[in-house]
Structure 1
Amino acid sequence: MRLKDKVAIITGGASGIGLAAAERFGQEGAILVLADINQDNIDRASAELSAKGYTVHGEICDVTDQAQTREMARAVAEKLGRIDILVNNAGISRYRPFAEATAADWDAVLGVDLKGVFFCAQAVAPQMRAQQYGRIVNISSALGTGAAPHGTAGSPGGSAAYASAKAGVIMLTKTLARELGPDGVTVNCVAPGTFLTPISASSRTPEQVQEHLEYRKKTVVLNRIGTLEELANTILFFASDESSYVTGHTLHVDGGRSDRM
């Protein structure tokens, strides 16, 4: 088992990409910590994972609150003795036509998708440094690597806040890799393309979701939407010692996006 007895915190771990990563980590023997803002989701996901024989703990945490992230990390270290892995997955989107986007939209998205990554990494870093070991995996997005030609929310700039935050995650990954590398902590980033998750529908109607998926199929050389299991396998690579000499790297998991090639 690649993660046997490793303590893995996954933010936004009770649904979507986070839950898929948690299940994959559980298969590899990790002790799972689902850090999420929604207690009902934590309870549901914990029950689902526990029924499969995985060791699961839940922690309520608003990643935009620095005090909460520090308390979450302190509680995990006190309860479980160490923190080996952090997956910075918690994220939101508020797709709006550029001209209609508000300051509240901007602040909400950057608060969770960028500031939350910074706060959580900062919270676990002291424990990882003390151990001289750690794996931090940040979740960015293909939207953070270039402006896609397909308009989001009726505007080419409809993903301005989300794309800006996810681009920031890529650069934050590099700076944290430089900061924490001497202490045996690797920091890497996964930039997913299109996957069907709850966030896909957070700012779209069901019809818009289907249109979005059909369009994206045509922009990837594999001509299909990826599965969460495929994405979880990539996250696992960075969380495991198989990637022990890789840090500061962003790996695109997007089926070969033709608009990037």
Structure 2
Amino acid sequence: MTEKVAVITGSGDGLGKGIAQRLAQDGFRIVLSDINAATLEKTEAEFKSAGQAVTAFRGDVSRREDQFALVQHAVQAFGRIDVFVNNAGIEDVMPLDKVTAADFDRVFGINVKGVLFGIQAAAEQMKKQGGDRICKIINAASIAAHESYDLLGVYCASKHAVRSLTVTAAKELAPYKITVNAYCPGVAGTRMWDRIDEEMAKIHGWQPGEAFKRFSSGILMGRPQVPADVASLVHYLASPDSDYMTGQAVLIDGGMVFR
């Protein structure tokens, strides 16, 4: 995968950073993107200190113009895009009867519009490139794209939407040698799960860490996942080994949800 270019949104930390690190190890030139400038700057410095080819772009995925500007930045830096990972996302923890229009729009703006705009921007560039090389769009879904959980209703709905967009995009972009797949993580010890745990503790009156423990206790592999677990799947989806695979939302959860 030498001389290939991968763009990863939400890659300042957490799963996105882990994905970027793995793709860098695979030989990709990396374009980091995140809304948090300080986190993004720190992560870019880490990649540079490791001698990896990297550039960074601060952007808000819910803004269509930012996603297209991200692609332009990547092309200006490295000349092309081979893999675009729509990783950025947020959670929302509340019962459905408490959800406001603003709550709904915030989650869908990032989790769904962000993916849609990322697909649009990446596909536009990938079509221009032409040639026989297969390009890859890879979306962050979740176990919540296959199952729905109480207090996470809007988040789950957004990830179901990502799964649907993945299938539609796969059908529409196949003629252009672009595959579109999604990865579906489970429970990982990231900042997102810290926030979920904190909010569920408030609602249920649980102790800190109780929600994380309850959700992860039934994992068949006996532990919560780490970024490297998810990054290994994205490594496959970004590689030539997955060239014949498109329109799939693949579970990588250690054994939680079975479809």
TM-score with structure 2 setting the length:
0.92
Counterparts of 1:1-261 in structure 2 under 5 Å?
A: 3-132=1-130, 133-148=134-149, 156=150, 158-205=151-198, 210-257=209-256, 260=258
Instruction: Report the 3-state secondary structure (helix = DSSP H, G, I; strand = E; otherwise coil) of the residue aligned with 1:110.
Output: helix
Distance 2:225 2:22 in 1: 16
Instruction: Report the 3-state secondary structure (helix = DSSP H, G, I; strand = E; otherwise coil) of the residue aligned with 2:187.
Output: coil
User: Structure 1 unaligned runs (5+)?
Assistant: 149-155
Moved over 6 A (4+): none
Question: Does the CA-based 8 Å contact 1:231-1:253 persist in structure 2?
Answer: yes
**Corresponding residue pairs, total:** 250
Q: How far does the alpha carbon of each residue in 1:83-117 deviate from its partner, in whole angstroms, 9 at most, with x for none?
A: 11101000011211222221111100010001100
Aligned twin of 1:152: none
TM-score with structure 1 setting the length:
0.91
- Indicate the percent of aligned positions where both proteins have the same amino acid: 33
User: How much has 1:131 moved relative to structure 2?
Assistant: 2.1
CA 208–242 in structure 1, closer or farther in 2 if over 3 Å, else same = farther
User: How much has 1:71 moved relative to structure 2?
Assistant: 1.6
Question: AA paired with 1:159?
Answer: L
User: Structure 2 unaligned runs (5+)?
Assistant: none
User: How much has 1:56 moved relative to structure 2?
Assistant: 1.1
Question: Does the CA-based 8 Å contact 1:7-1:83 persist in structure 2?
Answer: yes
User: How much has 1:144 moved relative to structure 2?
Assistant: 1.8
Q: CA RMSD in A?
A: 1.6
Instruction: Report the 3-state secondary structure (helix = DSSP H, G, I; strand = E; otherwise coil) of the residue aligned with 1:202.
Output: helix
Question: AA paired with 1:75?
Answer: H
Distance 2:2 2:190 in 1: 28
